[in-house]
Amino acid sequence: MAGIDSKDIHKIIVACDAGMGSSVMLASTLKKQLKGTGVTVEHTPVDSIPADADVVLCHSGLAARARAAAPGKPLVAFQIFLGDPAVTKLVDAIKNGGTVDA
């Protein structure tokens, strides 16, 4: 697992399948938590992850598809849509500095 320095994170993509449910909820929560940090958060279908994304967040059930769609992109997989430790770590690293496993 390679790490990414949190100061290199400017754009987070929450990747999802339909983009109408849980990922939307996570993206909105993240946006709020990262307000004022200058980091943008967007949600897109897993098959159309934009090239300028610095980190991709997706449910572990979608991780294989996300890796295939965006090879080499740092990816953080989570299990729980709200309050997942992996997501909390990412937010903490962005706010306080540090490296994120991705």
- Applying CB under 8 A, the residues found at the interface with other proteins are 17-22, 24-26, 28-29, 32, 45, 59, 61-62, 80-83
Taking the complex as a whole, how short is the minimal distance between the CB of residue 5 and other proteins, in angstroms? 28
Give DSSP secondary structure letters for 11-71.
EEEEEESSSSSHHHHHHHHHHHHTTTTT-EEEEEEGGG--TT-SEEEEEGGGHHHHHHHST
- From the CB of residue 58, how many other CB atoms can be counted at a distance below 10 Å? 27
58 is catalytic: no
Taking the complex as a whole, how short is the minimal distance between the CB of residue 26 and other proteins, in angstroms? 8
Residue of 4, 15, 16, 69 marked active site: 16
Which is closer to other proteins, CB of 36 or CB of 72? 36
